[in-house]
Structure 1
Amino acid sequence: MPITLPNNVFRARNPLPQPAVTILGLLTCVIVISSCGTTSSPPATSRPPAPTSTTVVSPHSASRSAAAQPSTSAPGPSRQSASNTHPPSGTTFAGEGLTAQQSSDLQQAVDNGHQPWRLDRVQVAKVFAQQRFGWSDSQAETGAPTVVFLTGPDGSRIALHLTQPATRGDQGIWVVDSGVWG
């Protein structure tokens, strides 16, 4: 005989606010990554370069004309050296840093057929790592619905937290909100 439960049994009475969920997600990522026991490189003794800016481009075609591509410049840290040095495990870093207006403009551009890769969270994570860290070939694993784990060519690992800031669901763009070194 099947057991039936009222519809509200699994609903939280006071759901956590979004910042708390994000922090819990990042902490979970740190724990998961740090338990991997990666020993491919020693912790870096220096800090990464200071933030400047990042420009988003298509991972498939850099030859499209600039007129066909909407501007998607985003404030954020510049690309770091592709060397084996990186911050210690557990060090967090900022994501793309798009404003609400930039996210809205980017969503509209994708809705109009530009940058369709923005609809794939793994592709967004890989392009972010390529631009930020110079990782031309990274391996991806998905975690929670908003987390992508990447391993760089030198064995370095990061966990990225992504959001859909404009439209949610299959037609919503993905943006890197933050990350943590593993």
Structure 2
Amino acid sequence: MADCPEVQVGHVEVSGEDYSKIQFMVDRGQNLWRLSPVRTAQIVGSTYFGLSPNDAYTLVERYIDTDSGLPNAVVRVKHGPCTFLVQLYQPEKRGAKGIWVAESITPI
């Protein structure tokens, strides 16, 4: 996106992330921000993909993906003049105790 070239768009993945290890840590009370799709989009997006922690993050929807059966969430991010949708999913546990992982960032 021309106005916000610092933001990585398309499929996103944090290299070397071990979802079972992250879930294990959350189950023991660490990195509890991973239980919120909005906070996960904010922290992971600003740490790895060019978003800012001060951007406006809003949960758009949660749904079950019909192909994978996994819970998904969409978070809208207002980043300067640009708006993005961050797609997240729960790879380990479903529901309130499952971690969220960013899968893609799409400009709108």
Normalised by the length of structure 2, the TM-score is: 0.76
Question: For 2:56 and 2:36, how far apart are their aligned partners in 1?
Answer: 15
Q: 2:39 maps to which residue?
A: 123
Q: Does 1:157 align with 2:73?
A: no
Q: Does the 8 A contact of 2:33 with 2:40 survive in 1?
A: yes
- Over aligned residues, Cα RMSD in angstroms? 2.3
What letter is aligned with 2:81? G
Shift >6 Å, 4+ stretches:
none
Which amino acid letter does the alignment assign opposite residue 59 of structure 2?
T
1:95 aligns with 2:12: yes
> Gaps (5+ residues) in structure 2?
63-72
Higher RCO by CA contacts (8 Å cutoff, separation 6 or greater):
2
Q: For residue 97 of structure 1, report the CA deviation from its aligned partner.
A: 4.6
1:133 counterpart SS class: coil
CA distance in 1, matches of 2:41, 2:21: 20
Once the two structures are TM-superposed, the CA of residue 86 in structure 1 deviates from its matched residue by: 2.6
Which runs of 5 or more structure 1 residues have no equivalent in the other structure? 1-42, 45-83
Higher share in strand = 2
Which TM-score applies when normalising by structure 1? 0.47
Counterpart Cα distance in 1 of 2:44 and 2:78: 13
1:82-137, CA deviations, whole angstroms, 9 ceiling, x for partnerless residues? xx4338xxx941222567x8111110011011100100110001112212214131
Percent identity at matched positions? 25
Between the aligned partners of 1:163 and 1:98, the Cα distance in structure 2 is: 16
- 1:180 matched residue in structure 2: 106
Matches within 5 A, 1:107-118: 107-118=23-34
**SS of equivalent to 1:129:** helix
Q: 1:135 aligned to 2:61?
A: no
Contact 1:92 1:178 in 2 (8 A): yes
Aligned pairs, how many? 96
> What residue number does 1:59 align with?
none
Is the Cα–Cα contact under 8 Å of residues 124 and 175 in structure 1 kept in the other structure? yes
Decide whether aligned partners of structure 1 residues 123 and 144 sit closer, same or farther in structure 2, where only a CA change above 3 A counts: same
Q: State the match for 2:5 in structure 1.
A: 86
In structure 1, the residue corresponding to 2:61 is in which secondary structure? Answer: coil
